[in-house]
Structure 1
Amino acid sequence: MEGPNALLLAVIGVGIMLAGYFLYSKYLSKRVFKLNDAYKTPAHQFNDGTDYVPTNRFVLWGHHFTSVAGAAPIVGPAIAVIWGWLPAFLWVVFGTVFFAGMHDLGSLWASARNKGQSLGTLSGRYIGPRGRNLFLVVIFFLLMMVIAAFATVTSGLLVDSPTAVIPTWGALIVALFVGQAIYRWNWNLPIVTVVGVIALFILIPLGDRFPLSFPDELLGLPPATWWIIILFAYGAIASLLPVWVLMQPRDYINGLQLFIALALLYVSVAIATPTVVAPAINNNVPADTPSLMPLLFVTIACGAISGFHGTVSSGTTSKQIDREGDARFVGYFGAVGEGLLALGTILVTTAAFRTVTEWEEMYDSFSSGGVEVFVEAGGTMVNQGLGLPAGLSSTILATMAVLFAATTMDTAVRLQRYIVQEIGQTFNVKIDMYTATAIAVGICIALTFSAGADGSGGVLIWPLFGTTNQLLAALTLSIVAVMLMRRRRPFLPVLIPAVFVIFVSIYALIVQLGQFYNDGNWLLLVLDIIVLIAAVWVLIEAALAMVRTRHQEPDPEDEEALTEEELLPAGTPRK
């Protein structure tokens, strides 16, 4: 039976996500989180010009969107469509509205209401010291996976797509200019934005015309090794610079470029109106494909709900938010942006093929899907819809994938620096930012090169990313639920998704335990057990904290409890 038109799925999916932003996020903001623009956010409380910087909400949205939307919302859906387009479509669309948007908005609110503290610190306050220590273990493992894996993935993309090299690294020069123009020269933001975006898009045909690559061997090392070294050096430097100098303007201007590229993808779907050739439910999956339940819900993490988002929200974004009301646009709409990327991935990886046989040849095993399929299929879609040359279309999509992965990696290095410092505090050891960065980068480099100079060690523990990521999301929602219970606020919009994500994540961890044991993969088996024990322990602590709240006096409503020190002075200019 012929599948639906991809344009119809795009209209339905985008329509539901936008309805979620305009309707559901408004309910969450007013009734559940009660956002208050009069509250003095951490960016104003602790403005230090480095990590705490009051930021225009559009600029901050760009930082948040590109930090959370790495390669994962491309990789996950591009793999998960092997079970058919319908399960992936439903999980991405409704997961974005009721899970991801609420999670990102809630974690941003929770951190901003607590001096920009991280989830690890918040878990200590609302769950207990044991919960905090175990929470830090889960976050540390997750960030280690993200940094090491994204370094390997990004280096592979740069090796396979030399036309993306000039746009990728040229974006750094543009970002430095944008940062100076906004914060030092006080230029008009729309003018800076237009100039920056034009400069970035000039780099794409330039890169397509002049591809750059390392020789097959340089000083005895392959090209992938050199790119990994360069990426780690960049990540370390970016994590130490004041956030407004490079990381924030890079994320902002890249976010606009990536959103435009995403728009080109959707416009191509609208013009080409291709038919989805993949089955709605695939009953003829390859032999190595695991069961849909529960693996679908951890294969597509970013794009439906992702614990990494909460780490970004409470790690960098909460320290830059100008007004608390901006959390709705930055947090919830940032999740919508990632949902649109995941939906676009589903469309191109199921409809950019002529026949179902051609699609099945591409998906001949569970590991066949990924960024490469997205770049190839997306390039075909843009070529069919807009008539751009196939090579240039692929360059646009490859650059898009590289920039998403790279911007997530540099944010993750900064976050890991924070976590190392927090772990030091639990042992009463003060670790400066330079030492913390060296520890964070050093551990990830060791993991990346643990299996050889090609950096394949970076993906050794990636099979645990989805489950660890979803467990972190469940733990984050548990903290937010406790905060709401203590304030006697509506908590079911948070607690119901938390229970669902807890169930599928622990189920997936148990399933993977059997797989790792049967494969004799003892490293992943041990790490799986550690993550499982830590997560279950934290969840028990969270459940006990929820029970205790029933017997405690409620926290005073924020609006009544705010002191003069916690209120913005009247007439404070909006960034």
Structure 2
Amino acid sequence: MFIYYGCRCRGGILVNGYHIPEVSFQNLHPAKLSLWPMMFVTIACGAISGFHATQSPMMARCIKSEKLGRQAFYGAMIAEGVIALVWVAAGLAFYNGVPGLGKVILSKAGAAGAVFEISKSLLGPVGSVLAILGVIVCPITTGDTAFRSARLALADIIKYPQDKIKNRLILAAPMFAVSIFLTFVQFPILWRYMGWLTQAFAMVTLWACSVYLVKAKKNHWISTLPAVFMSAVCVSYILQAPEGFRVNAVFSNTVGIAAAAAFFLIFLNKIKNQDKSMKSAA
């Protein structure tokens, strides 16, 4: 539904003669924060998202074959990417570029206000209601799947059966308590931590995939190279981010790249040692 009305917004932008600004490689951030590594943490779910990886314990119970994982996970990433591009194009065209869109986003109305105004103007009353419902429903379902996946992952780790409701509540109750506590934290700060954590999850998952592919004797570079890149992003970001250690950008980026290189060398060394062990065993 959200994709459908997002595409209708896109159609409304084109039909009504709105102009979509040209792509620019200039740094248009209001506070002039550096593109590296900030952009790669800000743009998360539609690019590389560790949050999707956390859904594995639940999706493994829902799909009949591991081969369907590509459709379930990769398909979700593509869909989110399409949604993101549609709404970015609509926002830039409707508010005549980044400065206008930035003013609305930073105002009290926020992103939700921008979505409502665009939807109401381009889709009419009915379309705007459905679009706003999509904006509300998506976070609710996201929270639901996050709690469920966390519970299942924890249950798998400690080997705690989840066939009884009592067992589910024993694991879910502490997580609900933590989430209630987090509601007292300012949302923008919480959201930035979430952005970094989802990319950190992606980094760990990519390294895990690389290990699996090596053991399966398959092409591991498809996950190893992104893992190296995301390692540099995650380390650099948390060192210099306002919610992180606030270290100098040059130093942070240097340490981030060095850390990524170190992870890569350790990984290659593990592969080399594994090959030697396999040859010795043979």
Structure-1 separation of matches of 2:216 and 2:5: 42
> TM-score of the superposition, structure 2-length normalised?
0.78
Residue equivalent to 1:504: 233
Q: How far has the Cα of 1:367 moved from its partner? A: 4.6
Structure-2 separation of matches of 1:432 and 1:302: 31
Secondary structure at the aligned position of 1:504 is classed as helix
Counterpart of 1:491 (choices 214, 220, 233) is 220
Structure-2 separation of matches of 1:350 and 1:410: 31
Work out whether residues 379 and 397 of structure 1, in 8 Å CA contact, stay in contact via their aligned partners in 2: yes
> TM-score of the superposition, structure 1-length normalised?
0.40
Structure 1 residue runs without a partner (length 5+)? 1-256, 520-531, 555-575
Aligned residue type for 1:433: R
Which deviations, in whole Å up to 9, do the C-alpha atoms of 1:538-564 show, x marking residues without a partner? Answer: x5897264444333439xxxxxxxxxx
Counterpart of 1:551 (choices 265, 276, 282) is 276
Which deviations, in whole Å up to 9, do the C-alpha atoms of 1:329-351 show, x marking residues without a partner? Answer: 22222211111111112111211
Work out whether residues 301 and 466 of structure 1, in 8 Å CA contact, stay in contact via their aligned partners in 2: yes
Work out whether residues 105 and 111 of structure 2, in 8 Å CA contact, stay in contact via their aligned partners in 1: no
1:346–1:508: structure 2 CA closer, same or farther, 3 Å change rule?
same
1:475–1:264: structure 2 CA closer, same or farther, 3 Å change rule?
same
Work out whether residues 38 and 237 of structure 2, in 8 Å CA contact, stay in contact via their aligned partners in 1: yes
Structure 2 residue runs without a partner (length 5+)? 161-165, 248-255
Residue equivalent to 2:250: none
Q: Does 1:337 align with 2:79?
A: yes
Secondary structure at the aligned position of 1:461 is classed as helix
Residue equivalent to 1:199: none
Aligned residue type for 1:321: I
> Identity rate of aligned residues, in percent?
23
Residue equivalent to 2:168: 433
Aligned residue type for 1:300: I
Q: How far has the Cα of 1:269 moved from its partner? A: 3.9
Secondary structure at the aligned position of 1:329 is classed as helix
Q: How far has the Cα of 1:460 moved from its partner? A: 4.2
Work out whether residues 115 and 132 of structure 2, in 8 Å CA contact, stay in contact via their aligned partners in 1: yes
Aligned residue type for 1:444: S
Which residues of 2 match residues 78-157 of structure 1 at below 5 A? none
Aligned residue type for 2:132: A
CA RMSD of aligned residues (A): 3.4
Counterpart of 1:378 (choices 113, 118, 125) is 118
Structure-2 separation of matches of 1:258 and 1:515: 32
Secondary structure at the aligned position of 1:490 is classed as coil
1:366–1:352: structure 2 CA closer, same or farther, 3 Å change rule?
closer
Q: How far has the Cα of 1:462 moved from its partner? A: 2.6
Q: How far has the Cα of 1:293 moved from its partner? A: 1.3
Q: How far has the Cα of 1:510 moved from its partner? A: 1.1
Greater relative CO, 1 or 2 (CA 8 Å, sep 6+) = 1
Residue equivalent to 2:57: 315
Structure-2 separation of matches of 1:351 and 1:293: 26
Which residues of 2 match residues 345-494 of structure 1 at below 5 A? 345-353=87-95, 355-356=96-97, 360-364=99-103, 367=106, 371-372=111-112, 374-376=114-116, 378-379=118-119, 383-384=121-122, 388-389=123-124, 391-422=125-156, 424-425=158-159, 432-448=167-183, 451=184, 456-457=185-186, 460-494=189-223
Structure-1 separation of matches of 2:74 and 2:213: 18
Aligned residue type for 1:363: G
Structure-2 separation of matches of 1:283 and 1:303: 20
Structure-2 separation of matches of 1:378 and 1:365: 11
Structure-1 separation of matches of 2:3 and 2:103: 31
